[in-house]
Structure 1
Amino acid sequence: MPNPSFWKGKKVLLTGHSGFKGTWLTMWLHDLGAHVAGYSLAPASAPNMFHLTEAANSCTNYVGDINDFSRLLAVMTQTQPDIIVHMAAQPLVRTSYLFPTETFQTNILGTVHVFEAARQTKSVRVIINVTSDKCYENTDTGPMFYKESDRIGGHDPYSASKGCSELITESYRQSFFHDHGPYDQRLASARAGNVIGGGDWAEDRLLPDIVRALLHSEPLTIRNPHSVRPWQHVLEPLSGYLLLAEKCWADRAYCRGWNFGPMSQDMLTVEQIVKKTTARWGKDLDIHEDYRARPRESAVLRLDSSDAILRLGWRPKLSIHSAIEWTVDWYKSYEAGMNMRAYTLKQIERFHELEGV
């Protein structure tokens, strides 16, 4: 788990802080005593977690595009962060088919912008680049569980962009962020699975689609019901990012790519996730499968996180069953009109108190 004494007083810059994962991390870091600056576009959905939780009160909020290098550099120069967690991205596979140029620009060149701005900011000690489990070359006939040493690749534009982000990370680590660089700067990457949790309102993502159908009593259309993904609660990989930053701060040997995924028994099919979610909600849905021709998506994707467990001391805390319960309970609290900032902080505190599964 993150060490509060380490984070207290640290200056942290989060890119993509107004997104789903970014909002959770903003609030968690603020709760740990860090001074958080966030750089991101305005939230894309209404409602959105950033506004519902009043997360702007937990950070210095900068609105900007990751592709605007001069703006990014100015913010980095002004805030002088100790640690950067880079999460800003175009995060959806199907959207990448519709907007490949924007996807490659944001996920590849945006990463370069962050690294270049960091190189010019002497205060920066650690950079964590958040990529994706989809950075691996997935032919659906490869290894059962992807390890950090497996081949990087990607068929769809999103997956390819995240594979490129990993290659760029390795290039910058070898070329600039090494023992003989002008500053003692350290770079690692984090590859997480399909995260779930309260506050995600993205289009074309399974849990938000289920929640919208439940809230509005509408039919649910799903695709690829038998596809398997490494589902996990959002706090699981975030705890990994924080722990990785702590380790890199202390020892450059941790500066490499790391997987943060669930235990093997928690990697369920889309259909199983739908059934468990509706059962927890206590409401049936009219479910239809989308049989229309659609872009290629991998049928099976699993992560091997044994390195993070053995070498970082990280371990998942919530089973997929508990993760779904926490997620549904968050949305039902929202439906009931509760204070979602207080409820989110309560879940973060509960997570701190848990032992690993």
Structure 2
Amino acid sequence: MSNGSPFKRVLITGISGSGGSYLAEYIVNHQPGVEVHGLARWHSTTTTDNLRAIRDRITVHECDLMDFGSVFAALQAVQPDAIFHLAAHANVRASFTTPNAVLSNNILGTSNLFEAIRLAKLDPLIQLCSTSEVYGQVDPKYVPITEETPLRPASPYAVSKVAQDMLGLTYFLSYQLRIIRTRMFTYLNPRRTDLFATSFARQVAWIERGLQQEVVHGNLDSVRTLIDVRDAMRAYWEALLYCEPGETYNIGGTTTMKVGEFLDQLVALSSVPIPTRCDPALLRPADVTLQIPHVEKFVNATGWQPQYSFEESMKYLLDYWRGQADKFL
């Protein structure tokens, strides 16, 4: 596929977050000539450290998606020709504790964004970042999971992402907003601490440095397909270049294993013995498994393939957290 970019100015919602910051880095480093803008809430400033490597090459606008006026003003100022909508409360387990906060933030924030785009009379290409969590507890007969698999959300977070997904379809059908919906499967993201893989890597690094005694974990039996966050963010860019507005696309890797098997492989990379223990507090009221994607629709549209091996991704994840642990010594 061509490396040329049809976009002059892109906007990333949630740019200071774990995914948004990696996406911004990808665009800055691999798409020269593209102006990168981002939206971040004032109380997200503690996470702007994620952007330290590219801070002087992007423009961050203070904006809360729950505040329609600030969203409208930011869009008027930026006039983007492409938007990546990544901002969300994305902690699945926390959504059982604070469901209303997660539902209102994710659904109304997305509604505000789409309404502001419509009322500002802008016509950007829009990538709506959804998740494999929308498929929820999948009947084995639907595995591997295609885009037509019934949605069976098993957490308030997943419900909020289904609503975002359907809003994307609604605004495409009703107002011709050019929205491409992507459903990302499990990725290895060092900056997102609520993911099981990141939690395990952080704990292993802490134990290696004598900062912790054991790894605590929840359900180890869930089956996931894993991808590197750097491949995932490149996939988002490819989605806007080659995918069709109004369509949904699964994105995921090719390495499939149980959560417990991932932990075993991570422990094998460690320089010291790693005791592990199940903490009942880490078990969700309902969990998902068999998160194995069918990604041919996306691959056929884009030609995208993962560039990082599972071993490279795992080392990248663990080395990141070893570096964080060293700051405490």
- Pairwise same-fold verdict (TM > 0.5): yes
CA distance in 2 between counterparts of 1:281 and 1:53 reads: 29
**CA offsets 1:166-210 (integer angstroms, 9 cap, x no match):** 111111111111xxxxxxx5111111112113333x2x4223322
Normalising by structure 2, we get a TM-score of 0.88
The yes-or-no answer on 1:41 pairing with 2:33 is no
Do 1:214 and 1:283's aligned partners in 2 also have CA atoms closer than 8 Å? Answer: no
The yes-or-no answer on 1:232 pairing with 2:227 is yes
Do 1:308 and 1:315's aligned partners in 2 also have CA atoms closer than 8 Å? Answer: no
Q: What SS does the corresponding residue of 1:97 show, helix, strand or coil?
A: helix
- Which letter does structure 1 place at the counterpart of 2:252? G
Structure 2 match to 1:72: 71
CA distance in 2 between counterparts of 1:295 and 1:331 reads: 29
The 1:317–1:110 alpha-carbon spacing in structure 2 relative to 1, beyond 3 Å, is same
**CA offsets 1:198-245 (integer angstroms, 9 cap, x no match):** 333x2x422332233233322111111111122211012211111111
CA distance in 2 between counterparts of 1:121 and 1:246 reads: 23
Structure 2 match to 1:286: 275
* Correspondence for 2:250 among 254, 259, 277: 259
Structure 1 match to 2:188: 196
Structure 1 match to 2:304: 314
CA distance in 1 between counterparts of 2:68 and 2:85 reads: 14
The 1:35–1:306 alpha-carbon spacing in structure 2 relative to 1, beyond 3 Å, is same
Matches within 5 A, 1:44-59: 48=47, 50-51=49-50, 53-59=52-58
Q: What SS does the corresponding residue of 2:257 show, helix, strand or coil?
A: coil
The 1:222–1:188 alpha-carbon spacing in structure 2 relative to 1, beyond 3 Å, is same
Do 1:19 and 1:43's aligned partners in 2 also have CA atoms closer than 8 Å? Answer: no
Normalising by structure 1, we get a TM-score of 0.82
Do 1:16 and 1:88's aligned partners in 2 also have CA atoms closer than 8 Å? Answer: yes
Matches within 5 A, 1:99-248: 99-177=98-176, 185-200=177-192, 202=193, 204-217=194-207, 218=212, 219-248=214-243
Do 2:21 and 2:50's aligned partners in 1 also have CA atoms closer than 8 Å? Answer: no
- Residue 313 of structure 1 deviates from its aligned partner by 1.3
Percent identity for Structure 1 against Structure 2: 23
* Correspondence for 1:276 among 251, 256, 265: 265
* Correspondence for 1:20 among 14, 18, 21: 18
Matched positions, count:
319
CA distance in 1 between counterparts of 2:147 and 2:217 reads: 30
Q: What SS does the corresponding residue of 1:267 show, helix, strand or coil?
A: strand
- Residue 49 of structure 1 deviates from its aligned partner by 7.0
Matches within 5 A, 1:299-310: 299-310=289-300
Q: What SS does the corresponding residue of 1:268 show, helix, strand or coil?
A: strand
**Higher alpha-carbon deviation: 36-45 or 107-116:** 36-45
Do 2:221 and 2:258's aligned partners in 1 also have CA atoms closer than 8 Å? Answer: yes
Do 2:153 and 2:162's aligned partners in 1 also have CA atoms closer than 8 Å? Answer: yes
Do 2:138 and 2:290's aligned partners in 1 also have CA atoms closer than 8 Å? Answer: no
Could you tell me which runs of 5 or more consecutive residues in structure 2 were left unpaired when the two chains were aligned.
Answer: none
Structure 2 match to 1:346: none
Q: What SS does the corresponding residue of 1:230 show, helix, strand or coil?
A: strand
- Residue 80 of structure 1 deviates from its aligned partner by 0.6
CA distance in 1 between counterparts of 2:230 and 2:50 reads: 19
Q: What SS does the corresponding residue of 2:222 show, helix, strand or coil?
A: coil
CA distance in 1 between counterparts of 2:54 and 2:217 reads: 31
CA distance in 2 between counterparts of 1:49 and 1:207 reads: 22
- Which letter does structure 1 place at the counterpart of 2:221? H
Structure 2 match to 1:355: none
**CA offsets 1:293-352 (integer angstroms, 9 cap, x no match):** 641111322111111112321222223222212222333455567xxxxxxxxxxxxxxx
**Higher alpha-carbon deviation: 235-244 or 210-219:** 210-219
Do 2:205 and 2:321's aligned partners in 1 also have CA atoms closer than 8 Å? Answer: no
CA distance in 1 between counterparts of 2:127 and 2:227 reads: 20
CA distance in 2 between counterparts of 1:72 and 1:52 reads: 21
What is the CA RMSD across the aligned residues, in angstroms? Answer: 2.4
